[in-house]
Amino acid sequence: MRTLTTALLLAIAGCGSGPPNGPFVDAALLVKAPPPTSQVALRLLLVGDAGNPEYARCALPAGRNAAPLDHCVMQQAAAAGQLVEHSALVLLGDNVYPDGIPDGEGIAQKRVLDQQLLAAQTSGSALLIVPGNHDWASGRPGGLAAIQRARARVLATFQQPAWALGTTAPWWIEKAGCPGPGTWDSPDGRVRIIGIDTQWWLHKDEAERRTCGDLAQVEKDAVAGIERALATAGDRLTIVATHHPMASFGSHRLGSTSPQDIPSPPYQALIASLNRALAAHPPHLFVAGHDHDLQVLRGGPAGVPARVAIVSGAGSKVRDLTAAPPGDQLVFAQGGHLGFMTLDLLTDGRVLLTVTRSEKASARQPGGFDQQVFDLSDLLKRK
């Protein structure tokens, strides 16, 4: 009861006349003294919606001149990856705005994608990519070709680091434009990440969706594939990674005219498919982007068949929250600030989550970055 009371008091304190942007924090889960990085067996860098060509630029670290990594959020992610021996960067979609990689020069679009690849290269991280609706040409005809161009650029540019060779290609949903799933097992056997291209359900061009096969059969096979990947995970920590969240207190929580909004019929059909896929063997975490904010929710109370649901979609754009999460759902929520999340699997079995967010509420001038660390170990235990 102390946890919920703390969460509610902090949520109430964060509310004022403006947007309910928080931060809203369950203080009972905060870690006052994080362990040394030598205790991190695997670090997962969860970055969504980092593909704005007009991303916030930060000064280069001293001595870095060639192929400059000046994307503020990707700089921070790369720095976090460099602190540990093994890390993986998981890009949660909308990796290139506004309409994915164009057919032509597209210098700004290619540059912002390259910034994300460079962050993985700089940190020695494995790279895992799921696409979002903007990567699919914002859901319009030509989206399939845009996805295929992005995949080709990634595979031609990036190779997994030596420690992760043999796991999977960075675009780990094998056929671009199909829902997957793709499965990545860390070499140490600690984690299985299951990637799903949820935009396939929401794409408006039915002919492009049919390149994967009969729509009903493709959906059935995707659900069965997700079920199988979860059922065979053994003792691994299981994470489902998509672009679209199943629950959110961000801007896509409202509205129903766009298929990108949670109340819309196409989005509800997507959620129904995911519920079927996850019901028998719920994952430990469901991780997504899409809303341009930072949220960590208790999955069950939020209506997500996972122990914890994460929205990390503030990689290059920011939006306000539409409501403060109720206390029984809340771990953390922050709107209006750039940022990302880091999941650490420790050698002693604990799982810590770090929220890294900009000091200023701005998508172009973030100032510095600060962090809060949460211990998710008890939340992630199976009942």
Domains and CATH numbers, the chain: 2-375 (3.60.21.10)
Name the average pLDDT for the chain: 92
Cα–Cα distances in angstroms (integers) from residue 180 to residues 174, 197, 200, in the given order: 7, 6, 9
* Rounded Cα–Cα distance for residues 147 and 168 (Å): 18
Q: 44-48, 276-280, 358-362, 374-378: lowest mean pLDDT where? A: 358-362
> Cα-flanking dihedrals φ and ψ of residue 288, to 5°?
-150, 175
* Rounded Cα–Cα distance for residues 289 and 342 (Å): 14
Question: How far is C-alpha 278 from the geometric centre of its chain's CA atoms?
Answer: 18
- Let me know how many helices (H) and strands (E) the chain has, helices first: 9, 14
Q: Is the dihedral of CA 202, 204, 206, 207 positive or negative?
A: negative
* Rounded Cα–Cα distance for residues 207 and 220 (Å): 18
**Residue 220: pLDDT above 60?**
yes
**Residue 286: pLDDT above 90?**
yes
**Residue 5: pLDDT above 50?**
no
**Residue 344: pLDDT above 60?**
yes
**Residue 283: pLDDT above 60?**
yes
Question: How far is C-alpha 227 from the geometric centre of its chain's CA atoms?
Answer: 20
Q: Tell me, what's the pLDDT at 381?
A: 87
Return the structure tokens found at 176. Answer: 């671009």
Band of pLDDT at residue 370, cut at 50, 70 and 90: very high
* Rounded Cα–Cα distance for residues 55 and 363 (Å): 7
Quote the strand ranges of 145-211, DSSP E. 182-185, 191-195
Band of pLDDT at residue 4, cut at 50, 70 and 90: very low
Q: Tell me, what's the pLDDT at 64?
A: 52
**Residue 213: pLDDT above 60?**
yes
**Residue 24: pLDDT above 60?**
yes
Quote the strand ranges of 20-151, DSSP E. 24-25, 40-47, 87-91, 126-129
**Residue 65: pLDDT above 70?**
no
Instruction: Please give the average per-residue pLDDT across 9-24, as a whole number.
Output: 62
Band of pLDDT at residue 269, cut at 50, 70 and 90: very high
Cα–Cα distances in angstroms (integers) from residue 137 to residues 95, 104, 134, 180, 196, in the given order: 11, 14, 5, 19, 18
Q: Tell me, what's the pLDDT at 297?
A: 98
Q: Tell me, what's the pLDDT at 328?
A: 94
Q: Tell me, what's the pLDDT at 273?
A: 98
Instruction: Please give the average per-residue pLDDT across 87-115, as a whole number.
Output: 96
**Residue 382: pLDDT above 80?**
no
Band of pLDDT at residue 210, cut at 50, 70 and 90: very high
Band of pLDDT at residue 171, cut at 50, 70 and 90: confident
- Contact, 319 vs 333, CB < 8 A? no
Q: Tell me, what's the pLDDT at 256?
A: 80
Q: Tell me, what's the pLDDT at 20?
A: 87
Band of pLDDT at residue 334, cut at 50, 70 and 90: very high
